[in-house]
Structure formats: structure tokens, C-alpha cells
Chain A
Amino acid sequence: MIQLKNLTKVFEINKNNKVTAIKDVNLNIKKGELVVLKGSSGSGKSTILSLLAGLSKPTTGEVIINNDRVSKLPDNFAALFRREKIGFIFQKYNLIPTLSVRENILMPLIPDNPSNEKVETLLNSVMKRFKIEHKKEAMVKNLSGGEQQRVAIARSQVNNPNIIVADEPTANLDKDLSLHFIDILKELKNENKTIVVATHDPLFFELDFVDRVIEVRNGELV
């Protein structure tokens, strides 16, 4: 389902300074698989996720998802692809703090201009599922870290994507909230969603429902 072929990403800091974030990465992920990418900070995990989600283009190589060459898609098609196929959970949640919970979760739906009924059904369903409906009108900046993460997860699921990409999802959470996130992940895995998590949190490495743990070191898969 997901194929990363000879993927290399070089960041150009300036004319004389280039950094190779990942080098010649090859990876196949099957539908419904949960893959954990582990590695220290700066190892290239986030870059792999970013390329997989079409947030950036590889310097060489390609990303193929369900036979779509995502890395070759023009910007607008890549956006459409993300909207329909990918649910991204960011390390720092990337919520808009001065908007309400409802408005944050609504954001991925806005460009499609759906009907009111559809919006309300989708919003209520994800808010209920991730236990955040009681904070519907609260400003995100006034929520706790755990609540903010539930909003981020709800937002990533409102379009019901098949692929979930999570970048250091427990980096800002205490142990209890991290375990709660792992429960959510398990639920999503049980729904046959394809999940890729980049983390250096050891909690993920021994989970029985994780299919593969792959180490990323200096931009290469070990």
C-alpha cells in the first residue's frame, strides 16, 4: 500500500551548506499495518513522515501510495490527497490556540464546503469518540495537554482517513496520557487503518499490536 522507494531528502541551508536528512530509504507498509519508526532526535524520522504525507518533496526517489505517485503530485493535488487519505497528528499538535475545539476540528472539512448536517454528524461523532464533546466551545489554549492532543486526534480523524501519521505523539504527555493515546492507537489499528508513528518513546517498542519497529539512524533505516 505505501512504498518508499530510494528516498533521499537533502535540505539546503545555504549555497555551501547542505544537510542530508534521509538517504536512500526503502520501505513497504501494508494496509492495516502499524509501523513504529524509532530513533533519536534528528535521525530523520519526521522527514520520512513528512515525505509520506506529501508535506515535502524528496530530493530523489518517490513515495507511492495505492499506486498514486504522491511525491510527484503538484501542490494542489498533494493537498487534496492529504485531505482525503491522511490524518496527521503533529508533535506539538499544531492546533490554532485562539479557535474553539469545534473550529479546530472543523478545519479539514472547510474546503469541501459540506452541508450543515454532514458537518454536525462528523464533528459530533469524532468529538464523542475522543471524549472532547464537553469542551466543544472552549478555546484550545485553555485546554490541558491531554485535551489538546485529543482535539488533534479528533481533527486528524474527522475526514475518516485510511492512513494515520503521528510524529512524536507522546512527546508532551505524561505517562498516563501516553497510555491513553496508545489505547486510541489500538482502536484505530483495530479499524484496519494503516498507522505510521515516529517516536523515541520506549512505551511503543514493546506493544503487542505494533507490527514492526524500525530504527532510523543518521537518515537510514537500520
Chain B
Amino acid sequence: MNNKINLYLIEFAINSLLRQKLKNSFILIIFTFLTFLISSVFFVSNSIKHELNTTLKTLPDITIQKLKAGRHHNINTEIVDDLINIAGVEDAVARVWGFYFFENAGVNFSIIGIDEFENQYKDSINKITKENDFSKLLDSSSMIVGEGVKKILDENYYKEYFNFIKPDGTFKRVNLAGVFKSSLNLEANDTILMPKELAQEIFQLEEDKATDIVVKVANPEEILTIASKIKLMYPDSRVITNKDLEISYQNIFDYKSGLFLSLFVISLFTFFIIVYDKISGLSSEEKKEIGILKALGWKIEDVLKEKFYESFIISFLGFVFGLLSALTFVYIFNAPLLSNIFTGYSQLKTDFSLPFIMDFNTIFLVFFITVPVYIAATIIPSWRASTIETDKVLR
């Protein structure tokens, strides 16, 4: 028995594909497009899920908001000392933060006020605080911004400073002292960090007021108990645990995943229509060719091997082209249209890039739901035709 790869059989398979250029080009294009669509959906979904999971890890243990008339209101910072005295509470920080809508660019910036003597509730902010002297920033009325903000400011000719419009209509000029990078694109790209006092001035918050208070709990098992205690102490407040936030983030993600799932199902459905069409039978020409090959002494396994090569070449090429197109589309062009489904409010956010997540499980999954299915869809009807009596096929 000859175990060498039969190059003549491969050559025959390639010639066979080239003989029906138009039909096979069409299949290759459809296959490439479907692989591209399925892979893109997976890539975008994976990247955003990664971003979301990383964001969830940075959420504060407990967030306390003041409610007035059922709406979020500024909270009194005096209660911070009482909170720290609750057994199990490691730290409590009054946060000054909010959104600023920059009308010229049509985007929202997130402003976070920093007190360099306080422990920051996020490691990423802690790191930035250590690298920058916020008391100097206060003296010089300056801020440091995320890369997305810097890009927007540059585009609008604010190279060195920015004029914030305060709620009373007056301007506050804040100088640009630096740009920071963060591992979290979705979260940090639109962020502006500035001394807490400056943020209070821009939002016109009184000195003893904050947007909310975040509480760090030493033992994660005690978060719920401590949250209940705080609720008892301040019944007019809303106490949100990190689990609550996680659920609401996850709900939004799951809802949007549903949209992606629809796209995915449509792609797969189209693919299976092609597969069904292929599996439902061969043309009389194709059957006759199999008959000729068998009459010339080809065994059933020879015919099937040739059909395997044909279908593998076309489906694997389609898979590779589709995968490369998806990688380019998602990670180089940032998945226009597709990523907007997830980020949703793109008009109000600064640009962000999808983080590159190479998940081999996804690649294998896309491979296994496309290539072997197509190969089977080609081989099964060929097998059926090659088991028919040769004489009958040729007649």
C-alpha cells in the first residue's frame, strides 16, 4: 500500500475546483463572508466581555447615594467618619465625580475628583495619583486626561487647556497637565482626573458635599451585612453592593448579547441552507463524473478522498480568509457598526479600541461549526452517488 500523499489526487481536486470557477468562487465568497460574520460577532463579544469583566473587578464593594424625591442627590461627607467606625469597614471615600457634556464634539467626559491624601477606590486611579502631584495640579488649576479625551480636545483646538462651563453659566479654565493610559479602554478613555476641589468647583458642589461615598469592606463575605447596617443608619440613602452593580452591568450585556445572538443565528442559518442545498443532491454532471471515475477503476474511497480534498481546500480557504478579515475588521478597524450594538451610546462617548483577545476556543468553535460541516455536506452526496451501480450512473 502506498502511504505517500497522492499529489495527483490533490492536483485533480484543484483542477476540479477550477473547472467550475464561477460556482466555487461563489461558495468561497459566501463561506468567507459567513466565517467573517460569525468570527466578528465572537471577537467583538469576547473583547467587550473581557472589558466588562475587568471593569466589574474594579467596582467598589459598597456605594452609598443620597436620595431626594427619589432621585440621586449630593451626599454629606460628614458621614464618612461614622461609616469608618462600622466594624468590618476598611475605608470609606467620598467621591466627587460626574459627566460633562462637550457640545462641540457631542461627547460626554467623565470627571473624577481626586484627593491625593485619600485611598483611592480603584487601583488604576491609585497608580495615577502616585505618579502625579495633585496639590500642584490644584495650584495650577490643571487636569490629566484619558487618551480619548486628549484626542477630542486636540480635534477641537484645545491643545493646552479647556474651558468648562459651570452650572451658573460662568467659565472655568483648566490646564492640561498630562495624559494617562489605562488597561481599561471602555472605562478610562473618556475620563478626566483633577483635584477634588476643582471638580467641586466645576460641578458647583459645596465643600462638604460629594456625589457618593464608596466603602471598602475587609471581608467580602460581610459586604451584605455591612450594607444592611448602613441602610439602617441612613434610611434615606440608596446602598448599592458590587453584586447589584454586577447584575445590572450583566443585564445590559446579556440584553445586547441577544442582539449579537440574532446575528449569529442568521449567519449560521444561511450557512446551513447552503449545506442543505449541497447535501440534498449532486447534479447529473457531478454524478456522471463519479460514474466515469469508478468505471476507470477508482474505488469509492478514492472518489471520497478526492471530494474531501475539494471540500477541504474550499472550506479551509474560506475559513482562513473569513478569520483574517474578521481580525482586521475587529482589531484594526475597530468593528464599525458591530461594536456600536454593544457600546450603544457611541454618540455620547469618546472613541475606544476593542482590546485584542485571542481566544483559541472561539477559533476552534468557528472552525468546527463550518469546515467539517461543509466537508460532510460534500462527501455525503458523493458517497451516495458512488455507491450506486456504475452502469446505472453512466446510463
What is the interface of chain A, defined by CB distance below 8 A to chain B? 47, 50, 53, 55-57, 75-76, 79-80, 82-84, 86, 88, 90, 94, 96, 98-99, 103, 106-114, 119, 155, 159
**Total number of A-B contacts with CB less than 8 angstroms?**
84
Q: Which residues of B10-27 are within 8 A (CB) of A?
A: 12, 15, 19
Q: Do the beta carbons of A119 and B392 come within 8 Å of each other?
A: no
What A residues does B299 contact at CB under 8 A? 75-76, 79-80, 111
B395 → A minimal CB distance (Å):
8
Q: Do the beta carbons of A82 and B394 come within 8 Å of each other?
A: no
Which of B237-245, B288-296, B332-340 lies at the interface?
B288-296
Q: Do the beta carbons of A56 and B389 come within 8 Å of each other?
A: yes
A51 → B minimal CB distance (Å):
8
A162 → B minimal CB distance (Å):
14
What A residues does B302 contact at CB under 8 A? 79, 110-111
Question: Does B387 interact with chain A (Cβ within 8 Å)?
Answer: yes
Which of B1-9, B100-108, B358-366 lies at the interface?
B1-9
Contact A106 to B8, CB < 8 A, known contacts A55-B389, A56-B389: yes
Q: Do the beta carbons of B19 and A109 come within 8 Å of each other?
A: no
> How many residues on B have C-beta within 8 angstroms of the other chain's C-beta atoms?
28
B183 → A minimal CB distance (Å):
55
Q: Do the beta carbons of B6 and A113 come within 8 Å of each other?
A: yes
What B residues does A76 contact at CB under 8 A? 299-301
The prevalent SS among residues of B at the interface is helix
Question: Does B390 interact with chain A (Cβ within 8 Å)?
Answer: yes
What is the interface of chain B, defined by CB distance below 8 A to chain A? 2, 4, 6-9, 12, 15, 19, 288-289, 292-302, 387, 389-392, 394
Complex CA gap A76/B390 in Å reads 12
What B residues does A80 contact at CB under 8 A? 297, 299
Please list the 5 inter-chain residue pairs (A to B) with the smallest Cβ-Cβ separation, ordered nearest first: A83-B297, A56-B391, A55-B391, A98-B19, A113-B6
Complex CA gap A80/B7 in Å reads 20
B23 → A minimal CB distance (Å):
12
Contact A99 to B19, CB < 8 A, known contacts A80-B297, A110-B298: yes
